[in-house]
């Protein structure tokens, strides 16, 4: 992989995170190039990571072996159509991290028969603890899949899905998921304050408890249900709290929220891919 040229169109937070992860893992900075209309972003990325910068997307498309489209979904069609001929000439594997843009639409905008990997990363990628779902179309080779997986693993774990529609569920679970946990953390912190703790203490205990629970789940071979049961002593404080959460329908609420997010992901894909 270290001989491949990787290009980024868009130098925002996610691109910056991927670049930082690659460089910290030893990927040669001179094999990374970024295009962005914002010269300040380009200057920052060049000075921070030593990567190459350009302001011409077409020029980058003629050089890259892997081309990452790290732009907003509403801009994808115009950018892709502008790059179409260059992509057809060079035939890099195109990696899209834009939510809601289906492979069929992107392939059509790029001129057809383009190797495309669609990714759904999440914001913890910014601190190298991301979770990314990936889907490849039939034009992507096994070597290209390995390349893209190595790229995304620089900022966390990766999971391939067999069918593109599964990315709607990935979006609902891990893509939107950090917001669910932040909201739970908000609520726990507020409850801690109401129970008599200072804001600073409630916040610290909430954050460390969330981190510790996640770390235990990651390092254990047991499912979350078993870990929960081990913390829940009969007749104890945790059992009473869990009973109240069950009575209030926490599971049903979370399921409804996730399915609602999935439905909205499908709607957005329909809206964005109709042109």
DSSP per residue, 37-89: S-HHHHHHHHHHH--EEES-HHHHHTT-SEEEE-S-HHHHHHHHHHHHHHHHH
12 a known binding residue? Answer: yes
pLDDT at res. 3: 76
pLDDT at res. 275: 65
| Residue matched to tokens 């490849």 | 136
Count other Cβ atoms within 10 Å, centred on residue 167.
Answer: 24
Enumerate residues 6+ apart whose C-beta is below 8 A from 108: none
Q: Grade residue 195 by pLDDT with cuts at 50, 70 and 90.
A: very high
72 a known binding residue? Answer: yes
Residue range 168-177: mean pLDDT, rounded: 96
Does the pLDDT of residue 270 top 80, yes or no? Answer: yes
pLDDT at res. 30: 94
52 a known binding residue? Answer: no
Q: Grade residue 69 by pLDDT with cuts at 50, 70 and 90.
A: very high
115 a known binding residue? Answer: no
Over the stretch 201-221, which tens digit does the pLDDT of each residue have?
999 999 999 999 999 999 999
CA distance 132 to 148: 11
9 a known binding residue? Answer: yes
73 a known binding residue? Answer: yes
Q: Grade residue 64 by pLDDT with cuts at 50, 70 and 90.
A: very high
């Amino acid at each position: 992989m270290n001989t491949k040229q990787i290009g980024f169109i868009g130098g925002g937070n996610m691109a910056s995170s991927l670049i930082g992860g690659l460089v910290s893992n030893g990927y040669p900075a001179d094999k990374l190039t970024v295009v962005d209309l914002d010269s300040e972003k380009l200057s920052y990325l060049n000075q921070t990571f030593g990567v190459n910068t350009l302001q011409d997307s077409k020029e980058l498309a003629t050089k890259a072996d892997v081309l990452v489209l790290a732009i907003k979904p509403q801009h994808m069609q115009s950018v892709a159509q502008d790059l179409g001929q260059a992509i057809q000439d060079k035939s890099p594997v195109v990696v899209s991290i834009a939510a809601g843009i289906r492979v069929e639409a992107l392939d059509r905008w790029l001129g057809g028969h383009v190797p495309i990997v669609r990714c759904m990363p999440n914001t913890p990628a910014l601190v190298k603890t991301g979770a990314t779902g990936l889907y490849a179309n039939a034009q992507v080779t096994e070597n290209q899949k390995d390349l893209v997986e190595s790229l995304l693993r620089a900022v966390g774990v990766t999971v391939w899905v067999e069918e593109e529609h599964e990315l709607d569920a990935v979006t609902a679970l891990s893509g939107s998921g950090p917001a669910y946990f932040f909201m739970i953390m908000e609520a726990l912190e507020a409850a801690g304050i109401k129970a008599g703790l200072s804001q600073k203490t409630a916040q610290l205990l909430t954050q460390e408890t969330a981190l510790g629970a996640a770390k235990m789940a990651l390092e254990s071979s047991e499912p979350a249900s078993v870990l929960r049961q081990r913390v829940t002593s009969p007749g104890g404080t945790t059992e009473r709290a869990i009973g109240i959460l069950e009575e209030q329908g926490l599971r049903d609420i979370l399921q409804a929220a996730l399915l609602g997010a999935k439905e909205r992901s499908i709607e957005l894909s329909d809206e964005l891919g109709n042109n």
